[in-house]
Structure 1
Amino acid sequence: MRVRKLAYAGAAATLTAVLALTGATYADAAPITAVAAPIAVAPPVISADASMAHLQKLMDFARASNNTRKIGSTGFTSTVTYIKQQLDALGWKTTVQNFTTGGKAAANVVAEWPYGDAAHVVMAGAHSDSVAAGPGINDDGSGVAALLANAAAISQAKLVPAKRIRFGFWGAEEQGDVGSTYYVSHLASGEPKKIDAYLNFDMIGNKPENGRTVGWSLYTEGQSNGLNAPFQTYFTSQGITVNPSLDTDDRSDHAAFKRAGVKVTGVSSVRSLNALGACYHKACDDLTDVSATSMALGSNAIAAAVWSLSGA
């Protein structure tokens, strides 16, 4: 976050029963087979280890790049390469959008799960760059790692949703949402109208500070357009009360989609913009600045919303 100055292929009955009773992952599930009628499939439970492994990689890239993953650095380039490699291996269709801002090279990675109605897209995104001062593991490696964990869950499930699922990993958010703005501005005529929802995940790994629990919040835009409902349902199931109206002041990548008329919301593990954490935009925003518990909650909140909104 920057400073402002298959739906209808179904799953085998055995798989459905296992998911309903245990919430198990799909790693050992039987192959999906067609059935006479669609069967709603619950998302798998995503472990904290799944996202924390990605965060370790991002930290390694930062360490090899003077403790930063800012655009123009090897830390950022390595991050982009890693994201694409992970998604390609999982069967997602990826596109890298290269652009330049402030004389520095940057890039977006856009990944699409190639099933579901392409005229109705559920999109989720996080920014892949950090500030110059630190490695950006919470801001916003946490969002990147959670989306990659979700991409793996979707792939392992061989999911065929009703709507198309698309993930965006934005470059140069810290320069003013440049990457997401570039993406939206380069969509072909009529394409923004095909995006039914854009979900933003910026700083979802906060750890408890000063004896207080992590304060989960939903973007205020989601209250009026109904997009907050699946998140609220998930957090309620975990016994967590969320702030349903975080006013982000359009300080992250949802802003470009909002301006294009797309319905937006997002999740953050902060109570307000006045409580972003002691290591926000600092060198100490490293692995010690994130909570594995928060990463698990954030990853599974994403799964609950993406699977629900896409008609999984």
Structure 2
Amino acid sequence: MRVRKLAYAGAAAALTATLALAGAAYASPAPVAPAAVKVALAPPPITAAAPMAHLQKLMDFATASNNTRVIGSTGFTSTVNYIKAQLTALGWVTTVQNFTTGGKAASNVIAEWPYGDANHVIMAGAHSDSVKAGPGINDNGSGVAALLANATAISQAKLVPQKRIRFGFWGAEEQGDIGSSYYVSHLPSGGAAKIDGYLNFDMVGNKIENNTPVGWSLYVEGQSNGLNAPFRTYFASKGITVNPSLDTDDRSDHAAFKNAGVKVTGVSSVRSLSALGACYHKACDNMTDVSQDSMVLASNAIASAVWTLAGA
């Protein structure tokens, strides 16, 4: 999550971009589901091992890159390559979308599970970059790891949902939501209207600090459009009371979708933006800055919402 909002128009004007294959990022393959593929009625439980393993890989990339995964660094490049390799191996249709901003190279990874109605998309996203000052394991390796764990669960279940499921891993969020803004602004005509909802996951791994239990919040936007309902149901089933209306001040990647008229919401493991944690945007945002329990809760909350909204 970035420090302050940059104007959407300014962010868009600040970058130039190229695609390896024009329009490749937006292809919506619709293969016929093989007989072996079955519909699962509920997501399988995601254990701590899956997201924590992904977080350790991101930490390794940062360690080999002067403790950072900022765009333009080898830590960021390794992160992008790892995300794409993981998703491709799981059977997701993946595209790397390259762009430059401020003279530095960055990338989005777009991944689509190739089943379900391509005219009705449930999209979830997380930014894959960190600030220069630290490895960004909570901000936002946590969101990346939770989505990768969900991608594995969907693949292993051979899920055939009613709606298409698409994940976005955004570059240059810390420079002002550049990657997500680029993606939305380059959707084909009518592309935004096909996205029934966008779910954002930025900082979902906060640990307990000063003996205070971690807080959970849902973005205020989701209160009026129904997207918060499956998250509230999940947290209630765990006996967890959430802040139902976190005002993010559009400080993350959901802003670009919201500005394009897409329904949005998101989850964060903080009760308010004044409680982002002692290691926020610092060198100590490493493996010690995340809670295994938070990662399990976040990963399974995402699964519950995505499967419900996609009509699994």
Q: Normalised by the size of structure 2, how large is the TM-score?
A: 0.90
Contact 2:92 2:114 in 1 (8 A): yes
Task: Give the structure 2 partner of residue 85 of structure 1.
Answer: 85
Contact 1:135 1:283 in 2 (8 A): yes
Corresponding residue SS for 1:302: helix
Distance in 1, matches of 2:236 and 2:63, equals 38
Task: Give the structure 2 partner of residue 162 of structure 1.
Answer: 162
Matches within 5 A, 1:31-46: 31-32=36-37, 41-46=41-46
Distance in 1, matches of 2:148 and 2:40, equals 23
Matched residue type, 2:97: Q
Distance in 2, matches of 1:211 and 1:300, equals 24
Query: Structure 1, residues 34-60: CA drift from partner, whole Å, max 9, x if none?
Result: xxxxx7611110001100000000000
Contact 2:50 2:149 in 1 (8 A): yes
Contact 2:92 2:113 in 1 (8 A): yes
Contact 2:37 2:160 in 1 (8 A): no
Shift of 1:32: 4.1
Residue 263, structure 1, aligned to residue 263, structure 2:
yes
Task: Give the structure 1 partner of residue 274 of structure 2.
Answer: 274
Shift of 1:210: 1.1
Task: Give the structure 2 partner of residue 111 of structure 1.
Answer: 111
Matched residue type, 2:2: R
Contact 1:10 1:41 in 2 (8 A): no
Matched residue type, 1:214: V
Distance in 2, matches of 1:290 and 1:227, equals 26
Shift of 1:9: 7.7
Distance in 1, matches of 2:61 and 2:232, equals 34
Task: Give the structure 2 partner of residue 95 of structure 1.
Answer: 95
Task: Give the structure 1 partner of residue 145 of structure 2.
Answer: 145
Corresponding residue SS for 2:267: strand
Task: Give the structure 2 partner of residue 295 of structure 1.
Answer: 295
Matched residue type, 2:260: A
Task: Give the structure 1 partner of residue 230 of structure 2.
Answer: 230
Distance in 2, matches of 1:186 and 1:130, equals 24
Matched residue type, 1:201: F
Contact 2:40 2:157 in 1 (8 A): no
Distance in 2, matches of 1:101 and 1:94, equals 22
Distance in 2, matches of 1:10 and 1:214, equals 43
Corresponding residue SS for 2:97: strand
> How many pairs were matched up?
286
Residue 186, structure 1, aligned to residue 186, structure 2:
yes
- Unmatched tracts of structure 2, length 5 or more: 6-31
Matched residue type, 1:181: S
Shift of 1:10: 12
Matched residue type, 2:172: A
Matched residue type, 1:141: G
Query: Structure 1, residues 90-129: CA drift from partner, whole Å, max 9, x if none?
Result: 0000011000000000000000000000000000000000
Corresponding residue SS for 2:222: helix
Task: Give the structure 1 partner of residue 11 of structure 2.
Answer: none
Task: Give the structure 2 partner of residue 17 of structure 1.
Answer: none
Matched residue type, 2:69: R
Shift of 1:83: 0.1
Contact 1:10 1:160 in 2 (8 A): no
Contact 1:84 1:94 in 2 (8 A): yes
Corresponding residue SS for 1:295: helix
- Unmatched tracts of structure 1, length 5 or more: 12-30, 34-38
Shift of 1:62: 0.1
CA RMSD of aligned residues (A): 1.5
Distance in 1, matches of 2:293 and 2:34, equals 31
Matched residue type, 1:113: W
Task: Give the structure 1 partner of residue 20 of structure 2.
Answer: none
Contact 1:109 1:169 in 2 (8 A): yes
Residue 219, structure 1, aligned to residue 219, structure 2:
yes
Identity of counterpart residues, as a percentage? 82
Shift of 1:219: 0.1
Contact 1:10 1:40 in 2 (8 A): no
Corresponding residue SS for 2:198: strand
Task: Give the structure 1 partner of residue 129 of structure 2.
Answer: 129
Shift of 1:211: 1.1
Distance in 2, matches of 1:164 and 1:112, equals 8
Task: Give the structure 2 partner of residue 27 of structure 1.
Answer: none
Task: Give the structure 2 partner of residue 305 of structure 1.
Answer: 305
Matched residue type, 2:300: N
Distance in 2, matches of 1:84 and 1:298, equals 22
Task: Give the structure 2 partner of residue 57 of structure 1.
Answer: 57
Corresponding residue SS for 1:123: strand
